[in-house]
Amino acid sequence: MTSAQPEPVYNMDVVRGFALSALIWGVVGMSVGLVIALQLAWPELNIGPYFHFGRLRPVHTNVVIFGFTLGVVFAGSYYGVQRLCRARLPSDLLARLHLWLWNVGLVLAGLSLITGHTSSKEYAELEWPLDIVIVVIWVIYAVNFFGTVIKRRERGLYAAIWFWGATILTIAMLYIANNLALPVSLLKSYSIYAGMHDANIQWWYGHNAVGFVLTTPILGLMYYFLPRQVDRPIFSHRLSILHFWSLIFIYIWAGPHHLLFSPLPDWAQSVGMAFSIMLLLPSWGGMLNGLLTLRGAWARVRTDPILKMFVVGLTFYGMSTFEGPMMAIKTVNALSHFTNWTVGHVHSGALGWVALTCFATLYYLVPRLWHTPLWSQRLAETHFWVATLGILLYVTPMWISGVTQGLMWRATNPDGSLTYTFIETVAAIRVYDILRAMGGVVFLSGVLLMFWNVIQTIRKGSASIPAGASPHAAPLPAAGG
């Protein structure tokens, strides 16, 4: 605050901003998720034109993906890239623009979705003016990130930077290509692709939104913050190399597993299925590289909630990247597609892997950003257990629900006629919808605990560096292997 403070070496304002905004969007987005889960069981909760399932579902997905997850990714990558490159972001102005444009854009996104302005394409719902805003922000992020890389005072690039950099390039390509549309008016446009081609490009985008928003940048967080927290080098540099290149190459091919048994050409479906199965190996390479980094330090997991979150997060990553390839096999997909199994699969990755890793990152960052120990270590520990219980309560009913509905849809009587009407399958899974919502309540209450913990930490801390403290963090241990 005062001129007596040393000039900070790194731009931490933008990191603080994104850490806080991500936390707020997390609470908002997951609350909307809970509302739409309840709406499935109690349709009276759908209110008027603005607050029914059809309009709120994209609000939930957009806010948790772009507000919460990418918020943590921006915070973590800005924090990490400056330290790994020993260089400050090239432009404080661009960093501030990034923070404010992104958050204003998210508010506009929420309002536009509630008022029904949507392209309908999943995770790419926003209409063309907001698409342009997002592309501009993405360019700003790219300039700041790669600008730091270019002016680095460190020779080599560490694995976290590979993953974050690949994320920036890939999302730019996917987002622009999938959103190309011809405007009718300021708030309405038509996709330049039609029918099958539109489906093909949408799921090339949609699957790689999972790959390059919910996977590679989160791996970047894991590669940076897990070794830091455990104070050990990453298990294997070679494994990082192998799984980085194979992961980013293979991911792009897997989109057609969303379109099995559709009018997409059969060869494309088979290619998509084959690459989805291959994806298991690089995914598990990442999981193992993370888990084995803890070799010799497992005792610390018992007492450290941040490490617990990383470990369980990586375990869920391994589980959902086993489940995903399995669901991409045509015979399994014939049962699972269009059911709650898919929704459960997404959430075991999104809550188990993405959210837990993001929580761990926030718990690591907040005390360092506000220069004071976390307000309550015990509350963070409680959060871990509550979150894990919430995930299990969410995912288990969804598996049962999905398989139940899939089996009921295909059940036939001895004479070959269908056994169940559609509405009987809706009624059969209602109990699981209620259980899933309860899982959501538990998970969300954990997020509220974290929110309270972080606010209390910030209240007793200070954004400026205390006099006498070194602004430099300890250097990252060299990679082994």
- Residues 344-403 within binding reach of another protein (CB under 8 A): none
- Residue 64 CB, shortest distance to another protein, in Å, is 15
- Binding of residue 255 to another protein (CB under 8 A): yes
Q: Mask 441-470, x = binds another protein (CB under 8 A)?
A: ------------------------------
By CB under 8 A, the residues from 220 to 239 that bind another protein are 237-238
Taking CA atoms, 179 is separated from 69, 129, 184, 372, in Å, by: 21, 11, 14, 44
**Closer Cβ to another protein, 78 or 253, answer by number:** 253
**Closer Cβ to another protein, 132 or 192, answer by number:** 192
By CB under 8 A, the residues from 29 to 88 that bind another protein are 39-41, 43, 46, 48-49, 52-55, 57-58
Amino acid at 159: A
Nearest to 481 by CA among 309, 289, 223, 227: 289
Q: How many CB atoms lie within 10 A of CB 217?
A: 27
Contact status, residue 176 vs residue 135, Cβ threshold 8 Å: yes
Stretch that binds another protein, among 307-315, 355-363, 379-387, 404-412 (CB under 8 A): 404-412
Q: Assign residue 218 a region: left if phi > 0, alpha if psi is -120 to 50, beta otherwise?
A: alpha
Contact status, residue 432 vs residue 397, Cβ threshold 8 Å: yes
Tokens of 73: 């990714």
By CB under 8 A, the residues from 117 to 136 that bind another protein are 117-122
Q: How far apart are CA 190 and CA 182, in angstroms?
A: 5
**Closer Cβ to another protein, 56 or 444, answer by number:** 56
Count residues contacting another protein (CB under 8 A)?
98
- Binding of residue 480 to another protein (CB under 8 A): no
**Closer Cβ to another protein, 414 or 416, answer by number:** 416
- Residue 219 CB, shortest distance to another protein, in Å, is 14
Burial class (CB in 10 A: 0-12, 13-18, 19+), 47: exposed
- Binding of residue 100 to another protein (CB under 8 A): no
Which residue is it, tokens 């300890």?
Answer: 474
- Binding of residue 431 to another protein (CB under 8 A): no
- Residue 31 CB, shortest distance to another protein, in Å, is 18
Out of 295, 378, 430, 460, the residue judged to bind another protein by CB under 8 A: 430
The Cβ-side half-sphere exposure at 292, using a 13 Å CA radius, reads 15
- Binding of residue 410 to another protein (CB under 8 A): yes
Q: How far apart are CA 278 and CA 194, in angstroms?
A: 30
Q: Specify the DSSP element, H or E, that contains 183.
A: strand 181-185
Which residue is it, tokens 């009276």?
Answer: 44
- The DSSP 8-state label assigned to residue 135 in this structure reads H
Stretch that binds another protein, among 357-365, 410-418, 443-451, 455-463 (CB under 8 A): 410-418
- List the alpha helices (DSSP H) in 231-304: 237-251, 266-278, 280-292, 298-301
Query: Which residues lie below 8 Å from residue 169, measured CB to CB, with a gap of 6+?
Result: none
Out of 256, 286, 349, 446, the residue judged to bind another protein by CB under 8 A: 256
Q: How far apart are CA 472 and CA 454, in angstroms?
A: 23
**Closer Cβ to another protein, 255 or 390, answer by number:** 255
- The DSSP 8-state label assigned to residue 158 in this structure reads P
- Residue 393 CB, shortest distance to another protein, in Å, is 20
Contact status, residue 122 vs residue 161, Cβ threshold 8 Å: no
- Binding of residue 251 to another protein (CB under 8 A): yes
- Binding of residue 414 to another protein (CB under 8 A): no
**Closer Cβ to another protein, 375 or 432, answer by number:** 432
**Closer Cβ to another protein, 106 or 166, answer by number:** 166
Q: Mask 148-177, x = binds another protein (CB under 8 A)?
A: -xx-x--xxxx---x--xx--xx--x---x
Query: Which residues lie below 8 Å from residue 48, measured CB to CB, with a gap of 6+?
Result: none
Q: Mask 178-207, x = binds another protein (CB under 8 A)?
A: ----xxxx--x-xxxxxxxxxxxxx-x---
Which residue is it, tokens 């104070």?
Answer: 231
Out of 80, 227, 272, 390, the residue judged to bind another protein by CB under 8 A: 272
- Binding of residue 6 to another protein (CB under 8 A): no
